[in-house]
Structure 1
Amino acid sequence: MYSSERNVQMLLSLLKAHKIKKMVLSPGSANASFVASAQYDGEFELYSSVDERSAAYIACGLAEESQEPVVICCTGATASRNYMPGLTEAYYRKLPVIAVTATRPIAWLGQNRDQLIDRTVIPKDIAVKSVHLPVIENEQDEWECNLKINDALLELRRNGGGPVHINLTTSYSLDFSVSKLPEERVIQRVDLESKLPELSKGDIAIFVGAHSVWNERLKASVESFCEEYNAFVFYDQTSNYTGKYGIPCGVFDIVGFPNLKINLLIHLGNISASWPAFAEEIWRVNPDGEIRDTYQHLTKVFEMQEEDFFKAYCGNNSKSRITQYEKWHAVYRSQIEAMQNSNNDMAFSSLWIAQNMYKEMPKNSIIHFGILNSLRCWNCFETDHSIRGYSNTGGFGIDGGVSSLIGASLVNSDTIYYGIFGDLAFFYDMNSLGNRHISSNVRILVANNGLGGEFKNSLGNVQKAGLGDSADAYISAYGHYGEKSQELLKHYAQDLGFQYLSATDKTSFLAAMKEFTATKHKEKPILFEVFMDEHEDVSALDLTQSLRDFSENDQNVMAKTKKLAKNILGRNGVKMIQKVMHKND
């Protein structure tokens, strides 16, 4: 029957799903699990060729004449080297040949193991895509193999097509006891010439990651889609979405709502700080047409302009009531109201700052956010739709945020450009403040808690690993940059021509915030340093998570929430929690 090796099963299953059936097979032991399984299947069209050089050329002729993809498969050692002339021919003629080369574990490379050839790097002109499939031992391996196989097979016909290479690791299993191939996730690429797949009959949402400014046509087409299919839009501060069916996604990232699910999520934009883990199936729409399985539920990639996608699906149905938007927005509003009700007792923190400042930001201003906590906190709130947001989520490192802000500010001197950064990200890029081109339209807030807060909060892997304060020594960068010196940045900023503001508590923050968010242009750029306690900064996120279940009549949940509040906020915090619970009963 079929081999018990899961990567072999998966490759055969996906070859069939992609309607690939022709194979030219060469003898060997490393590829025996694949060849024997294909032979047992009975649905593949099999041919044998002892000479791998000849096998590759046979595949070229077979692919050209049949106008179908052809698999060639060989063992390890030098057998695969003999594929190169034929694959070179296929590359320059754009013939769809799939070279499956079996291999022992690549960890053995360079260890004097017999019949082990390094194929991790191949000549540029023998394949348009090369992937390596590990032995599958866990769910992560399953996802990796599924993604790589789909990606490779889709490249056979893309942009004119060409050969692909799949390096298949074998465990030399002698177990051929599997009677049926498993069904595997199939990823499809769709363009405007393809037949468009049907939309899900279930709940549909659109998620927008980092995105350039939207034109009115695209915004209108998305709104028409939402109205026709009862859909809505999740967005973050970098999405620049300003339509009427949008819901900020930050609360859902921080809090999590395990009972809320979306059947189909349409993914727009690029790398985001958000993680919409509640989707069962994802369609990616992007003119680059690349396989980007960010959330591991991708089934289709639409290689087309976003506007073309929505126009193609609109006009088929009458408008429906936007019940999904209403349902999800009600959950969002309930959480925001709970956070606002806790405002007086919430710790002085990055989240508290965002909650109290987002409505005060001048219209038509532009905000650049530091990655992680700065962006995470602001993603909870709906800033005015005239405001645009950006963050260096491309490389997603802490460096360069301030410089990117300064570069953007040079474009339009009449616009106020804000920067919201944690202390670690700011100090990493602080030399940029010495740039002589900086003008008075720049305003920077530095949330200074004395370390990298991401390494201490309850959302990060470090805290879950139980490191706690022991992370201070070498992980969270505690104690650098003056240990929250109240003079260091003050003198640095003033000597460079900045107006310097500072705050150490809620009262002083609210007073300075009026100056920082004034709509009138200033004579100098502004640096606003906000000092806060690292533990209080983290506690605000914990409190927000605890607020999720207020509306549920569950005494166990309420008891846990009260206990958490007592740990976070003390006695006054417990009274506040009880007050909010009573209000929502």
Structure 2
Amino acid sequence: MESKFKYTTERNVQIVIALLKAHGIHRVIASPGTTNMTFVVSIENDPWFKIWSSVDERSAAYLACGMAAETGEPVVISCTGATASRNYMPGLTEAYYRKLPILAITSTRGNHKVGHLVDQQIDRRNLPNDIAMESVTIPMVKDKEDERYCEIEANKAMLALTMNGGGPAHINMYTKYSHDFSITEIPNVNAIYRHTVFDKEWPAMPQDGKIIVRIGSHADFTESLTKAVDRFCATHDAVVCCDHTSGYRGKYEVHAQLVCGQKQWSSELTKANLCVHIGEVSGDQFCIRAKHTWRVSLDGALRDTFGTLRRVFMMPEEEFFNHYSDKDNVHTEYLDSLNSEIQALKEKLPELPFSNIWMAQHMVDKLPSGCELHLGIYHSLRSWNFFKLPVGIQAKCNVGGFGIDGGVSTMMGASFAHPEKLFIGVLGDLAFFYDMNVVGNRHVGNNVRIMLINNGKGNEFRNYNHPCYFLGDEADKYIAAAGHYGNKSDRLVRDYATDLGYEYFSARNKVEFNDVIDRFLTTTKIDKPILFEVFTETDDESCALEMVLNTVIDKKDVFKHTVKKAIKSFMGDSAIKCIKGIVGK
């Protein structure tokens, strides 16, 4: 007789069940209880699963050890929320030291009830070090973000069963005791698979759609890794999407921020099928998006930066790129098309206000050969990312922690290590003053050039596309921290720098800037470090960014004028001035 019970409506439980199937896990030993009801009832009528019952959880864990050792396959154990989970510990300890793939799924009403004298609420937030390779929590699902989180965490636990030799893992799964088991088919979930160099078969590279290599912050590329990436791109007609911390300077390098960042126009070239993701945190928020992501990293961790992670290759990057390369194929069609589009947008850029972006635009091709550029978070990095650096120049930025502190010190440390190389830093005022003590370090040499962009605040919080922009001048009080450090004093930095032996000069407009920029970038050997203080205004910085991100407007004239009228009625003439710069009217 067919059961009237199908799958639970609890989406988090559905996700775990679907991923068990996707990862080929079908053996389950279930112990009695209420909090694991939605899981056990959902799988007991699913022919994929083979289920055994064990009243004693301690015995259940050891049963799983014997079964896993015999079959070489993972085994799930499921229990309720009270002391049942404690009884798994001896068996999970055995599994840990024998590297047996046991997945313990303990059910709970939620961590928010722990510690409040609620019955059967055992605290499983911190486990002994030797009973699980990975421990995750699968909460109730309220929205798409929760769903994505549950998918990642469940994949993480299941993949841990076989990672680094294997061992037990733990899922602590929430429930609300739903009585609704009416779901006949579980909606799609995103399984993630891990691969190593020891795999007998590697997944096939997709043949349809564009392929990009996306690089976050990365150590400077070796010659052999650069060649491997270039061969991969030549084989698959791929491009390498970089920001200035990517470390790659090969043939297929593209800085597509101008194209990808456009707010009122979408390029077909920014729609890819596969992203091969290497490196770490990136400061590029505008890069090409892809339907699927393959992550390549020695750590083998699930880093779902773009929400589309499908495979993780736990191996050296060079191994991956060489495996998927064909030396006989050479394609550059995608590269040529994207570069042409980037160049066309550069030529369409209007005259920008005096700002960080304007300075980057006019400095980038003047940078001395072989210098190293250090950029502050975040406006300076973004401003320079719109423009590709000349060949032979590397850039660095503290994107790991992504905070304003330490940028000057990081540059100085690099300059100490290579006194023969020229180091140029571009930083905002808050970042500079936060880290200004290192400016007085006695080891600072004549190979240091600092450009201080001083707008008297954290201008990032006042840029038109920032979440705090709606606050207007009100943001200056505390959010943007305006008025500190001399409030754009003409003398403070000048006196500090010159007293410390720096050559100092300043600029407040384009004319003054152009008068001294050649001196700042001179390749002639000088006997002092240089500090160049550039004063800019809040509105100019914001307007320049808005103009760059709206270089192409794919709208009818009527619509443009309607928008302009609406903006004027709500924001005033200053906004209209900026819009006129964008549309050129």
Which amino acid in the other structure matches residue 264 of structure 1?
L
Q: 1:193 to 1:441 in 2, by over 3 A?
A: same
Q: 1:266 to 1:51 in 2, by over 3 A?
A: same
**How far off is 1:310 after superposition?**
1.1
Which amino acid in the other structure matches residue 150 of structure 2?
C
**How far off is 1:323 after superposition?**
2.1
**How far off is 1:553 after superposition?**
6.8
Match of 2:371 among 365, 374, 392: 365
1:309 — aligned with what? 320
1:351 — aligned with what? 357
Which amino acid in the other structure matches residue 209 of structure 1?
G
1:198 — aligned with what? 204
My pick for the range that moved more, 452-461 or 527-536, is 452-461
Match of 2:526 among 507, 522, 529: 522
Q: 1:199 to 1:544 in 2, by over 3 A?
A: same
**How far off is 1:569 after superposition?**
7.7
Which amino acid in the other structure matches residue 372 of structure 1?
Y
Instruction: Give the fraction of aligned pairs with identical amino acids, expressed as a percent.
Output: 43
What whole-Å deviation, never above 9, does each CA across 1:113-146 have from its counterpart, x for those lacking one?
1111111111111001000111000111011000
What whole-Å deviation, never above 9, does each CA across 1:541-574 have from its counterpart, x for those lacking one?
111122122xx47435654787779956866973
1:425 — aligned with what? 431
Q: Flag structure 1 segments of 5+ consecutive residues without an equivalent.
A: 580-585
1:170 — aligned with what? 175
1:469 — aligned with what? 473
**How far off is 1:285 after superposition?**
1.2
**How far off is 1:72 after superposition?**
0.4
1:215 aligns with 2:222: yes
For residues 120-519 of structure 1, the aligned pairs below 5 Å read 120-194=125-199, 195-200=201-206, 201-252=208-259, 254-256=261-263, 258-259=266-267, 260-275=270-285, 276=287, 278-315=289-326, 318-320=329-331, 322-339=332-349, 342-343=350-351, 346-463=352-469, 466-519=470-523
2:543 — aligned with what? 539
**TM-score w.r.t. structure 2 length?**
0.94
**Structure 2 contact 15–189 (Cα < 8 Å) conserved:** yes
What whole-Å deviation, never above 9, does each CA across 1:157-210 have from its counterpart, x for those lacking one?
111011001000111111111001122111111111222211122111111111
What whole-Å deviation, never above 9, does each CA across 1:514-548 have from its counterpart, x for those lacking one?
11111112211111111011111111011112212
**How far off is 1:42 after superposition?**
2.2
**How far off is 1:308 after superposition?**
1.2
**How far off is 1:413 after superposition?**
1.3
CA distance in 1, matches of 2:373, 2:562: 37
1:555 aligns with 2:557: yes
**How far off is 1:458 after superposition?**
2.5
**Structure 2 contact 547–581 (Cα < 8 Å) conserved:** no
**How far off is 1:490 after superposition?**
0.8
1:104 aligns with 2:115: no
**Structure 1 contact 399–425 (Cα < 8 Å) conserved:** yes
**TM-score w.r.t. structure 1 length?**
0.94
CA distance in 1, matches of 2:127, 2:576: 62
Superposed CA RMSD in Å reads 1.9
CA distance in 1, matches of 2:400, 2:540: 30
Match of 1:61 among 62, 66, 84: 66
**How far off is 1:576 after superposition?**
8.0
CA distance in 2, matches of 1:547, 1:20: 52
Q: Flag structure 2 segments of 5+ consecutive residues without an equivalent.
A: 1-5
Which amino acid in the other structure matches residue 386 of structure 1?
G
**How far off is 1:240 after superposition?**
2.0
**Structure 2 contact 506–532 (Cα < 8 Å) conserved:** yes
What whole-Å deviation, never above 9, does each CA across 1:46-95 have from its counterpart, x for those lacking one?
01101111111111111000100000010001111111111111111110
**Structure 1 contact 363–387 (Cα < 8 Å) conserved:** yes
Q: 1:556 to 1:235 in 2, by over 3 A?
A: farther
**Structure 1 contact 250–378 (Cα < 8 Å) conserved:** no
Q: 1:222 to 1:401 in 2, by over 3 A?
A: same
